[in-house]
Amino acid sequence: MYTIEEIKGRYMDGISIEKMAREIHVRNGKIYEILRKNGIKLSEWKKEGRISSIFSGKIDNINDLKTMYSNGMSCKKISRKIGVNYEIVRKTLKNILGINIREFNSLGYRKNHKIIRGEYRSLFVPDHHRADKRGYVLEHIAVWENANGKQLPVGHNVHHLNGIKTDNRPQNLVAVTPKEHHTLRIPYQKRIRELEDEVERLKQIGLPMITPT
């Protein structure tokens, strides 16, 4: 008797339900029921073809898709990486591997912004150490910690250098104490915005940008 995982694996490798049923001396319906109860939608999979023909030479194992997706790659990125149609990748993840499909942002977090406290954005990252009871964390904190590879120090805030509280680019964020935050706010925000506007103007007229060394 095969284990459930073996039955799923053999089916995805192109072994028919009928052949497996004959091998272990059970009705076809028994194999069908096992596959259906374990998240494999046979009708959807048959429309696209079996794993052996679709992903042959693209990946070593069907679970490689799950690994890439769990590591933050979107269906589109996986599709481009392995050279398989986006819809086939998405349906395989959803219908064969039973994964709840979602898109990720550049941090690897689900794209689910929500404006809170009037001005700040938050991200749905339920496993983040600063997530609230609903699973949301302030985006600028998540971005700063990801860019700096460490948690925000105790007693520090993340300051937006140009004063735009939805501009959460890493280069616009700096960790400061409450006192430093008040000192930086007034004299620098206006000048930073002026410089950013000037950079955009130069880009539009096609002048080359000089990177400091």
High-pLDDT (> 90) share of the chain, %: 8
Which residue among 62, 96, 130 closes a domain? 96
88 and 116 belong to one structural domain: no
Answer yes or no: are the C-beta atoms of 54 and 44 closer than 8 Å: no
| Residues 67, 41 share a domain | yes
Give yes or no: residues 69 and 137 share one domain.
no
Q: What is the mean pLDDT of the chain?
A: 76
Residue 116: pLDDT over 70: no
Mean pLDDT value of segment 93-108: 65
- Judged against a pLDDT cut of 80, whether residue 211 lies above it is answered with no
Domain boundary (38, 69, 96) is at 96
Name the band, by pLDDT with cuts 50, 70 and 90, for residue 49.
Answer: very low
Average pLDDT over residues 95-104: 67
Q: Given pLDDT bands bounded at 50, 70 and 90, which one contains residue 44?
A: very low
Q: What is the spatial distance between Cα 43 and Cα 49, in angstroms, rounded to a whole number?
A: 10
Contacts 24+ apart (CB under 8 A), 118-124: 119/165, 119/166, 120/165, 120/166, 121/166, 121/168
| Within-domain flag for 10 | yes
Residue 119: strand, helix, or coil: coil
pLDDT grade for 88, boundaries at 50, 70 and 90 = confident
Closest Cα partner for 42 from 65, 20, 12?
12
- Over 60: is that where the pLDDT of 104 sits? no
Does 59 share its domain with 116? no
Domain of residue 165, residue span: 110-204
- The residue from 46, 69, 96 where one domain ends is 96
pTM: 0.43
Q: Are residues 133 and 73 in the same domain?
A: no
* Higher per-residue pLDDT: 105 or 34: 34
pLDDT tens digits along 175-197: 988 887 777 665 566 667 677 77
Tell me the per-residue pLDDT of 131-168, one tens digit each, with 9 for 90 and over: 888 778 899 999 999 999 999 999 999 988 877 888 88
Question: Quick one: 189 and 137 in the same domain?
Answer: yes
Total of domains in the chain: 2
